[in-house]
Amino acid sequence: MSIKSKEMLSKLGPLFGLLLLIIIVSVLNPSFLSIANIFNVLRQVSISAIIAFGMTFVILTGGIDLSVGSTLALTGAIAASLLAGGLDPFLTMGIALILGLILGAINGVVITKGKVAPFIATLATMTIYRGLTLVFTEGRPISGLGDHYSFQLFGKGYFLGFPVPVVTMVIAFFILYFILQKTTFGRRVYAVGGNEEAAKLSGINTDRVKIAVYAITGFLAALSALILTSRLNSAQPTAGESYELDAIAAVVLGGTSLNGGKGWIFGTLIGALIIGVLNNGMNLIGVSSFWQQVVKGIVILLAVLMDRKKSA
């Protein structure tokens, strides 16, 4: 076997894992395979997958972003409040996305210009953004968003028979895949994670690349916030708590190295699907929610251990 095809095989490992999981779950409970349930899984996955796509960019540069859940909550709350106040839904969505971009860019600036480790910087902004959400909402959910058809469609509608959030996720996937694999920016992302010093000495503005990946992540967190707010027709101040951990888990399950420089976004999609199928499957089988956490943790651990074996 050539080096290339061997590499390909190991890259597709997570996909085999997902298929195996689907087979196990559908044998234990055939109703898993009903269209309604599959759409349900995909709709749930779309929110975490979109966040995990952003996380992939950040982790590829060797960073981490713990603030995604708080960014989701803050942008969601502001969007809900604007809608409740009667603002045009498209304008609202635009404002929320730009706000997400800015919140992300702030992370990037603190990390690059302030030279703060990504873990610490985003741990701080995670707390700040969550606190701002609580201040803004006074700790209460925001509802009464009105019945804008276009906004409702975003989280609950169907497009050509598919749930709109799933379509959004797929479109986001293809755009981000293209950016990572086919553009100079994507190449720079890998270079910064692979060897920052060599990248800098090759004339790459590494600070700019890093700020951009955090901004992209903030933007995608805001996109998830819009889907979630539309689905629930309200914004919760505690929305998105521990989403950062699910996103990191999806990235890692997809085979992307936490050291940066190695990985791909297709793996993250599979990783997010594995977590989604696992959650849904355990519900269908009737595993208690306490045990579900244990199983999820074990799956993540096994995936990483197998990855270690492979690379050793």
Partner 1 sequence: MIEMKGISKSFSGNVVLDNVQFNLADGEIHALMGENGAGKSTMMKILSGIYTKDAGEVVVDGEVVHFKSPKDAEKYGIIVIHQELNILPDLTVAQNLFLGKELTYGKTGILKTRQMEKEAHELLLRLGLDVNPRMRTGDLSVGKQQIIEIAKAIASDAKYIVMDEPTAALTDREIETLFKTIRELKAKGISFVYISHRMEEIFAICDRITILRDGGYVGVRNIPETNFDEIVAMMVGRELGERFPERNCQIGETKLEVRNLTVNGLFKDISFSLKKGEVLAVAGLMGAGRTEVAQTIFGYRKASSGEIFIDGKKATIKSPIDAMNHRIGFVTEDRKTQGLVLDFSIKENIALANLKKCSSSGVLNKEKETSMVMKYIEDLKIRTSSPEQSAKSLSGGNQQKVVIGKWLGTDPEILILDEPTRGVDIGAKKEIYHIINQLAEAGVAILMISSELPEVIGIADRVIVMQEGKLTGEVNKEQMTQEVIMHYATGGEQLVY
> How many C-beta atoms lie closer than 10 Å to residue 38's C-beta?
15
Residue 133 or 256: the one with the smaller Cβ distance to partner 1 is: 256
Residue 99 or 209: the one with the smaller Cβ distance to partner 1 is: 209
Assign 257 to helix, strand or coil.
coil
Candidate residues 113, 140, 182, 310; the one interacting with partner 1 per rule CB under 8 A: 182
Q: What's the rounded Cα separation, in Å, for the pair 309 and 220?
A: 33
Residue 154 or 173: the one with the smaller Cβ distance to partner 1 is: 173
* Least distance in angstroms from the C-beta of 171 to partner 1: 18
Interaction with partner 1 in 247-266: which residues (CB under 8 A)? 261-262
Cβ-based burial of 295 (10 A; exposed 0-12, middle 13-18, buried ≥19): middle
Beta carbons of 71 and 221 less than 8 angstroms apart: yes
Cβ-based burial of 269 (10 A; exposed 0-12, middle 13-18, buried ≥19): buried
Q: If you count them, how many residues does the chain have?
A: 312
Which DSSP symbol is given to 30?
Answer: G
* 187 binds partner 1, rule: CB under 8 A: yes
Which residue has 């599959």 as its token pair?
A: 38
Beta carbons of 108 and 215 less than 8 angstroms apart: yes
* Least distance in angstroms from the C-beta of 193 to partner 1: 9
For residue 158, the surrounding DSSP H or E stretch is strand 158-159
* Least distance in angstroms from the C-beta of 150 to partner 1: 31
Distances (CA, A) of 277 to 91, 156, 225: 35, 20, 21
Interaction with partner 1 in 4-63: which residues (CB under 8 A)? 4
* Site residue total, partner 1 (CB under 8 A): 24
Candidate residues 44, 205, 233, 292; the one interacting with partner 1 per rule CB under 8 A: 205
Residue 198 or 285: the one with the smaller Cβ distance to partner 1 is: 198
Stretch of 24-32, 78-86, 181-189, 229-237 contacting partner 1, by CB under 8 A: 181-189
Candidate residues 53, 151, 154, 190; the one interacting with partner 1 per rule CB under 8 A: 190
Candidate residues 24, 40, 185, 232; the one interacting with partner 1 per rule CB under 8 A: 185
Chain centroid to CA 254: how far?
Answer: 12
Stretch of 115-123, 131-139, 193-201, 267-275 contacting partner 1, by CB under 8 A: 193-201
Residues that bind partner 1 (CB under 8 A): 3-4, 182-188, 190-191, 194-195, 197-205, 261-262
